[in-house]
Amino acid sequence: MKKQMILWTCMLLLVLVGCKKDDVQYTDRYELKGKVEKGPFVRGSEVTVYELSERLERTGISYTKTVQDDQGNFDFGILDIRSPYVEIVATGAFYNELTGEQTSGSLSLRSIADLSNQKSVNVNVFTHLETRRLLELNGGEKRFKAVSQQAHGEVLKAFGLQRFEMDEVNTYSLTDGIKGAGSLLVVSASLLKDKTETRFAEYLEGLCEKLKETGTLPDDTKEEIRKNAVSIDWTKVAEGLVAKYKETGLEITVPDLSYFIDWDGDGEAGNEFGGIVGDKKLKFKTDTLRVSQDGGEYAVDILANLSYDFTYPGMEEEEVPKSGVEVDKLFQFKSEEMDYTVTLDKVQGQLKLTVQPAKGYWIRDERITLYSLDGEVSATLLITQDGDMNKFEVPEGVEEAVSGILGSIREACDYMYTIEAYYTQCFPEPQNKWQKYYRHEKSVMADIDLKRAWEVAYKAIASANNGYDILEKEKMGNLCSPQFKLLRSIMYYPLIVLWGNIPYPEHFSTAAAPRLTEQKAYEKLAADLEEIHRLILDWRSAEYQDYIGIGELMLGKVYMQLGRYNEAKRGLEIFLKNEGYAFNASRKEALNSGSKELVFGFDLLDYPSVYTSEIADHRYLPVGSYTEALLLLAECTNRIGDRAKAMDYLNQVRKNYRLSEATDFDQQLKATWKELLKGEFAYFAFLKRNDLCEKELGIEAWQKLLPFPESEVGLGGAEQNPGY
C-alpha cells in the first residue's frame, strides 16, 4: 500500500511537472470570429488559425475555414485549443478600393491575438504590418499585452495616426464607420496606389521587414506614402466602398477621410483640421472687397478652424482650351489686368493685399480662393477695382469679329432653311438633289449639304464661343459678350429643331461636347436667352435694337417648343413693346430692303445663296419677324385658355395680308403658318410642337429629326438618331 501511494504520488508529480513545463493553462472555451479586410476578402477565401505557445510559436495545432461572404466574415465557433494565443492567416482575393474591382490574384494577411481578452479578431493591413514587430518584441506571457500595444502604436505612428491608437488594430474594420474605418481605408488604399497585385504583396512584405527592426519606416518611404494619400480621389474611394458593401446587403458609412491623411507632412494626420468632430469652417469675413481706382493696402479677416492655403496638395492645373479649329479672326484688347500682390498672415488670420492704381477704363475683378488642405472646403473673395475714367480704350475688332460670325451663321442657315423648306413640302417637289429631303429619304444622312450645314453651324458656334471667352477673360463680359452669346443662341435654335439631341459647347474648345437631349438643349437655350436679355437691356439704343428684339422673340420661340406657354406669352408681350416693328403689305416686302417686319435677318445680296436659287429670291433670311411673333402669341394665348384673344391676334395677321377672317382657329392657324411663313424656318417647328408632323407630312415619328452626318456618329460615343 505504501509503495502504491508512492507510485501515485510520483505519477501526480510527473503530471504537474509536465503541465508546468509549457506553462499552458487549460481553459473551458476559446471562441473566434472576425473579418478579413484589405478591401473585404471575398467568399471562399481561406482562413487558418494556428495555436501559439506563450512564446508565440506554433504548437502544431491548426484549423482552417473559409470566408462566409463577400464582406470578409469568418467564424470558427469554439476552438479546441489549450492556449489563448493564436495566429490567423487569411489568403484570398479582395476588393480593390482604387479600381472598384475584385482582384484576380490572392493576398495573404496575418494577425496575432490573445483570445482570453477578445472573441472577435479582425485581419487587415495594420495587423499584418505589426505582426513581425510584435514577434520581435515578445519576451514572455506577462509582456504580451505591453508589446502588442507597443507594436500597435508604432505602426500607427509610422502613418501619422498616433492619435487614433486607443483601440487594438485587430478591432479595426472598414464597416465600423468611425476612426478605425478611416485609418484602415486610407492606409490600405495609399499603399496600393500605382501597384499591381504582385507588386503590392512584395511591397507589403518589405514594409513589414522595415517595421520589424525599428518599429518605424524610413522618411522617404513615409513621404512616398503621404504623397500617394494626398493624390487619391477619396470621395470616389468612399463612394465605391459604400456601393460595394451595398451589393452584399450591408449599409455602411465612411467617415471624413481627410482626418486620416498627413496633408502638411508634419508627421501627424488630420491635425490640419482640428478636432475630428464638428464641421470644417473656412470663410472670409466678407465675400467682396471694393477697391478704388487709386488702389491701396487692404486686409480681410479669415474665419477658419482648419489649416488653409492658396492651393492644396494634388491640386491640378486648370485645362486651357487650345485652338485647333478654324475660326474667324478675332480681336485684341488694349486693356490691363488688375495689378496686385497678396499674402497670407496665418498668425493673425488675414489675407493682405496691395493693389496698384487702375491701368484702364474698365472695371476689373479678381477672385482669390483659399482651400482647406484636403481641397474639400474653400472660401472665395471677390475683389473689384473701379476703372479710371481717364484711361478709356476701345476694344478693337469687335464688329469685325461679329461680322465674320454672322457670315458663318448665314452660310449654315442658307443650307438649313433650304432643307426645312423642302422637308416640310411647302414648295413644289424639286427634280434635283433636294428631292430626297422632300421625300424624307434615309439617304439624306450621306448628303454633302447636310454635312456642310452641320459643320458651318458649329464653326460659327466655335467662333462665337471664342469671342465670348476672350471677353470674359478680359473682364469685359458685360460690354460685348452677350452679343456673342446671342449669335450662338441664334445658331443653336435651328440645330435643335432639325436634329434634336445636339452637342451644346459653351466655351471654345477642340474637345467634343456631350450631346444634350432635345428637351435639355431647349432648356439650356432658354436659360442662355434669359441671361442675355438681362445683360443686353443695358444696350437699349437704336444701334442695338435688333439684338434686343431678336433675343426677346427667340425666347418666346424656345418656350413654345418647351410647352411653357405662360413664359412664352410673357416674352412675346415684352417683344411687342419694342418700337419700330410693324406689318408690311406682303411677305416679299417683309424680307427685302426697307422691311418693318424683319427683326433680325441675314443679307443674301451678292452672296451665292442656295436658298435664293432654290426657294425664293428674298434679300434676307429671317431669324424672326413681326408676323411670326403675332402668330406665336395667338398660339400660346389659345393654349392657356384665352380663345378670344388668340383669335384676335390671328385675325390681325390675316387681315393685314388680305386673308379671310378666321372662324376655325386650329385649322386656320395652321394654314396661316404654312401660307405666310413657309421657307422662313418656322413651319416645321410649328408642326413638331403641335404633333402634326406625321399627319401633315406623311412621315414616321422618328423622321421628325434629321440624321446626324455620318462623320459625327461615333464621336465621343455619339449614336445616330433613331431610324437611320
Which pLDDT value is given to residue 279? 78
CA-to-CA dists, residue 235 to 185, 375, 462, 484, angstroms: 12, 11, 34, 38
**Weakest-pLDDT range from 279-293, 467-481, 519-533:** 467-481
Q: Which residues of 143-177 are buried (b: 16+ CB within 10 A; e: fewer)?
A: ebeebbebbbbbbbbbbbbeebbeebbbbbbbbbe
What pLDDT, in 10s, does the model give residues 708-719? 988 788 776 788
What pLDDT, in 10s, does the model give residues 550-585? 889 999 999 999 999 999 999 899 888 887 899 999
What pLDDT, in 10s, does the model give residues 54-68? 889 999 999 999 999
Q: Average per-residue pLDDT in the chain?
A: 85
**Weakest-pLDDT range from 16-30, 172-186, 610-624:** 16-30
Q: Are 470 and 488 in contact (CB under 8 A)?
A: no
191, pLDDT greater than 80: yes
Nearest of 231, 194, 195, 241 to residue 100 by alpha carbon: 241
Q: Which amino acid is at 102?
A: Q
394, pLDDT greater than 80: no
Which pLDDT value is given to residue 557? 96
What pLDDT, in 10s, does the model give residues 364-387? 778 888 988 888 788 888 888 876
CA-to-CA dists, residue 145 to 120, 129, 424, angstroms: 16, 17, 87
Q: Are 384 and 293 in contact (CB under 8 A)?
A: no
pTM: 0.50
**Weakest-pLDDT range from 85-89, 127-131, 325-329, 344-348:** 325-329
Q: Are 722 and 702 in contact (CB under 8 A)?
A: yes
Sequence-distant (≥ 6) Cβ neighbours of residue 270 within 8 angstroms: 163, 258, 259, 260, 261, 262, 276
* Burial tier of 194 (Cβ tally within 10 Å: 0-12, 13-18, 19+): exposed
Sign of the CA dihedral 441, 443, 449, 455? positive
Which pLDDT value is given to residue 476? 56
Q: Are 154 and 211 in contact (CB under 8 A)?
A: yes
What pLDDT, in 10s, does the model give residues 596-624? 999 988 899 888 899 999 999 889 999 99
Sign of the CA dihedral 58, 64, 65, 67? positive
Q: Which long-range contacts (CB under 8 A, 24 or more apart) does 249-253 make?
A: 250/71, 250/175, 252/174, 252/175, 252/177, 252/181, 253/177
Q: Are 120 and 133 in contact (CB under 8 A)?
A: no
Q: Where are the alpha helices (DSSP H) in 232-292?
A: 234-247
326, pLDDT greater than 60: no
More confident residue, 338 or 134: 134
Radius of gyration of the chain (CA): 38
Which pLDDT value is given to residue 280? 83
* Start-to-end Cα distance in the chain: 110
CA distance 230 to 262: 8
Sequence-distant (≥ 6) Cβ neighbours of residue 142 within 8 angstroms: none
171-192 average pLDDT score? 92
Sequence-distant (≥ 6) Cβ neighbours of residue 555 within 8 angstroms: 526, 529, 530, 533, 568, 571
